[in-house]
Amino acid sequence: MKFFIDTANLEQIREAYEMGVLDGVTTNPSLMAKEGIKGLENQRKHYIDICNIVQADVSAEVISTDYEGMIREGEELAALNPHIVVKVPCIADGIRAIKYFTQKGIRTNCTLVFSTGQALLAAKAGATYVSPFVGRLDDISEDGIALVGQIVDMYRYYGYTTQVLAASIRSTRHIIQCVEVGADVATCPLSAIKGLLKHPLTDSGLQKFLEDYKSING
């Protein structure tokens, strides 16, 4: 399973990249605003900075909600760097725009997906990735992981090549659950990725190795 980090924070992206297990980055307008990236020029430069750090897929989201605006923005974003993936919300004009981008060879990430029906439309339009939001479904007592599994099964049954990019991941447990249902990608906070490393038996076992070595070798 691929790991993307879900942030626009360059320090966290660098730290995740240096872990040696990072496969990409997803951003969204809220994450960009959180970093205080203001204005078109600064946003474009920031996306290029992220691409230069990871040299892997970086999702950059359009802010337009109309077809013409999405097309204009998406083509500008795609032209910034070969690693840019144009992120488009799952609305009528977004699906139409994804179809256009597919025909132009521009890779896309259909975001704000909360149902198998939406995921089906994204795949039919040729989206490169589909982003079901696990955490936000869990937040309203629905089963986000179950949706990921349903989408994975649907795509496999029909042979769609759209990759299931589980998003809105809130915990290390969510990552493991995404593995269990066969998600292609999980886009996570750095803390969730780092949580995969933690096990007390590893720590105690290493401590014992070091103590036993020291008892003989000083």
Give the binding site for ligand G3P (CB under 6 A).
Answer: 6, 26, 28, 133, 135-136, 167-168, 187
**Amino acid found at 7:** T
Residues 21 and 194 sit within 8 Å (Cβ to Cβ):
no
Q: Which is nearer to ligand G3P, 28 or 128 (CB)?
A: 28
SS3 21: coil
Q: Where would I find the beta strands (DSSP E) of the chain? A: 2-6, 24-26, 57-61, 84-89, 108-113, 129-132, 163-166, 185-188
Q: Which is nearer to ligand G3P, 141 or 156 (CB)?
A: 141
Does residue 99 have an active-site annotation? Answer: no
Among residues 160, 208, 194, 215, which one has the least CA distance to residue 22?
194
Euclidean distance between the first and the last CA atom of the chain, given in angstroms as a whole number: 43
Measured between alpha carbons, how far is residue 11 from residues 62, 101, 164, 196, 197 in Å? 23, 31, 26, 20, 20
Q: Which is nearer to ligand G3P, 106 or 109 (CB)?
A: 109
Residues 114 and 132 sit within 8 Å (Cβ to Cβ):
yes
Q: Closest approach of Cβ 203 to ligand G3P, in Å?
A: 29
Q: Closest approach of Cβ 5 to ligand G3P, in Å?
A: 10
- 172-181 and 144-158 are packed helices; what angle lies between their axes, rounded to 10 degrees? 30
Q: Closest approach of Cβ 192 to ligand G3P, in Å?
A: 11
Q: Of 2, 34, 45, 87, which one is the catalytic site residue?
A: 87
Q: Which is nearer to ligand G3P, 124 or 170 (CB)?
A: 170
Q: Which is nearer to ligand G3P, 91 or 211 (CB)?
A: 91
Residues taking part in catalysis: 87
